[in-house]
Amino acid sequence: MNRVLGDWRAITILLGPALLVYTLVMLVPIFWSLGYTVFEGNPILGFTFVGFDNFAQLFTDPKVGDALWFTIRYAVVLTLLQVLFGYGLALIYVFWLRKASGVIRTLAFFPVVLPTVAVALLFQELFKIAPVQGLVNDILNVFGIASVDWFASSATAFWVMIFMDLWRSMGFYAVLLYAGLVDIPDDIFESARLDGASGFRLVWHIVIPLSLPVLLSSIIFSINGTLKVFDSILALTGGGPGNTTTPLTLYMFQTSFTYGEYGFGSTIALLLTVLCLVVTIFIFQSNRRDLTKD
């Protein structure tokens, strides 16, 4: 094996095709898109070099600010909720359901495999008010509460969106965190219990510190996924009402492809990339100690 891995020709033959494909479909478009940030135009009218005008526009276009604020709000709230609920489910699997958790894990994981657009259409039906009202409003009526037009206000639309994505994704985080929890040796728990730790104290002092690496990975997965949310919002609200539920990704898409402003769209994409990078670095920096080495 060492001979193969030390042979330049073998490396070329084994990695070359994959590297070429990766370069073509990943690296070239990234750098191409980066190049567009200093141009303005579209394929019909051609492109003109505008220097840093697109970057200046980032600070003057109020829709960028709105989209950035929505993206951050959505990412923070959903990350907190999906990791929290995922972790809660994982704890239930390990400490309460134990070996009988298979069916519950499958049920909780089931929404993860459903197509996003199908889930969004399902939630539209559940929460709709006209022309025929959905199940949620029917239930509210049973309790004497008036029907709510959930998608008419940005506040209610936001929480429907959060609820939908939480339902859709918490099973994934539950399984991810469950894998981290089952790796903790049983004798540690037994020792802790002998020392008098139980319930919340056991979770706080033993379970959380020992599952911190996988918890950290979950947060990074989640924050990056939620910062780049696109399809579920497009299918559920289309970014409305108005542009009050438009994240950066959707605004970038509209700018580039609906308005034909490829340069500014690429600049918004760059802003999103930098945002993801900064958040990831921040999370890593805030927890530099490698707990797996202790």
Task: Strands of the chain (E only): list them.
Answer: 39-42, 46-49
Which of residues 129 and 203 has its CB atom nearest to another protein in the complex? 129
The nearest distance, CB 78 to another protein, in angstroms, is 23
Nearest to 289 by CA among 212, 204, 185, 179: 212
The nearest distance, CB 114 to another protein, in angstroms, is 23
Which of residues 218 and 267 has its CB atom nearest to another protein in the complex? 267
State residue 2 phi and psi, 5-degree precision.
-60, -35
With 0-12 / 13-18 / 19 or more C-beta atoms within 10 angstroms meaning exposed / middle / buried, residue 46 is exposed
Which of residues 12 and 191 has its CB atom nearest to another protein in the complex? 12
Tokens of 63: 């829709």
- Cβ contact 243:67 at 8 Å: yes
Which of residues 83 and 164 has its CB atom nearest to another protein in the complex? 164
Spatial distance between the Cα atoms of 229 and 222, rounded to a whole number of angstroms: 10
The nearest distance, CB 257 to another protein, in angstroms, is 5
- Cβ contact 243:198 at 8 Å: no
Spatial distance between the Cα atoms of 23 and 262, rounded to a whole number of angstroms: 22
Contacts of 252 (CB under 8 A, 6+ apart): 265, 268, 269, 272
- The secondary element (H helix, E strand) that includes residue 215 is helix 212-227
Nearest to 72 by CA among 269, 268, 276: 276
The nearest distance, CB 6 to another protein, in angstroms, is 12
Which of residues 153 and 198 has its CB atom nearest to another protein in the complex? 153
Residues near another protein (CB under 8 A): 8, 12, 16, 19-20, 23-24, 28, 42-46, 62, 128-131, 149, 151-153, 238-243, 254, 257-261
The nearest distance, CB 277 to another protein, in angstroms, is 25
The nearest distance, CB 153 to another protein, in angstroms, is 7
What three-state secondary structure class fits 1? coil
Which of residues 211 and 245 has its CB atom nearest to another protein in the complex? 245
Q: Say how many C-beta atoms besides its own lie within 10 A of residue 119's C-beta.
A: 20
Q: DSSP letter at 26?
A: I
Which of residues 54 and 218 has its CB atom nearest to another protein in the complex? 54
The nearest distance, CB 138 to another protein, in angstroms, is 15
